[in-house]
Amino acid sequence: MARVSYNTPMMAYDHVRDMLKDAAGPDGIVSRTDVKKLVRQLRKDGRGSEAVAARNMFKIIDSRDNAAGARVTGFDLTASRRYFKKEMLTDYDLNKNGFSNAEMQNLSPTMRAMVAAGQMLKVQKAGGRISHATPEKGMNHIAALITQAAGPDGIISRDDIKALTRQLYKEGRGTEELAVRYFYNFTDHRDYRAGARVTPNDIRKAVDYSGTKLLKAKDGNRNGYSKAEYAEFSTTAKAFTLVGKMIEAGIVKPAN
């Protein structure tokens, strides 16, 4: 894996900072309620890594001034940029030439989410249709992650998924974590009979169903997904698409 430059997470910082500023109330104060609303919207749009970065960045900035009556404002968000770059980024880069794969392992979930969000910003393309293959790559990757989480009994339990999503969160892989959570819940709800269990076969059936009903059914002209068609995607389908873009950009290695 190539080294990740400072510019990648700092690009994400600037992007998230601007979203937090926009989320502020008319008094210019960014409240916890404002942040919760922003995070909910980002997750609804399948943008899991940005949601993790926004929530955690706000918590860190908020905690830096714990004096009674202190509030987070646009000034605080801008002033904290230097803190993130120096204290939370450069201190982990031993050779001062960007993050190696080994150094990435030492970054906090917040920093790793910022890296993932910055990488996502780089691969987002304005306009143009989205190939059918893009969300399908994301879906197949997520399905493989869920299948690999099965225990020795071949059952994919809710505890297995909790362990998987915790690990993805720890690694800053918020969009994959979101997609895993939603797709597993979707599969689990398809068979709600007492005693029913999620198995790899259930995941395969859900992939076949979703490829038609969640994805291709949205493409009215059968020529790829337009911006308007993408806007009609479910949260799960949007997360699949973003994961697929990261796979195509070489940011995420497809699970087998």
| Predicted local confidence at residue 23, as pLDDT | 94
| Predicted local confidence at residue 196, as pLDDT | 62
One-letter amino acid identity for 192? Y
Residue pLDDT, tens place only, 61-86? 998 876 656 689 999 999 999 888 88
Q: Which of 122-126, 189-193, 212-216 has the highest mean pLDDT?
A: 212-216
Residue 177 clears pLDDT 90, i.e. is over it: yes
| Predicted local confidence at residue 68, as pLDDT | 56
- pLDDT (average), residues 251-256: 89
| Predicted local confidence at residue 195, as pLDDT | 53
Has this prediction a pTM greater than 0.85? yes
- pLDDT (average), residues 147-157: 91
Q: Quick one: how far is CA 86 from the chain centroid?
A: 24
Residue pLDDT, tens place only, 34-48? 999 999 999 999 999
| Predicted local confidence at residue 148, as pLDDT | 95
Give the confidence band of 220 by pLDDT, cuts at 50, 70, 90.
confident
Residue 192 clears pLDDT 80, i.e. is over it: no
Residue pLDDT, tens place only, 112-142? 899 999 998 888 765 578 999 999 999 999 9
| Predicted local confidence at residue 127, as pLDDT | 59
Residue 205 clears pLDDT 90, i.e. is over it: yes
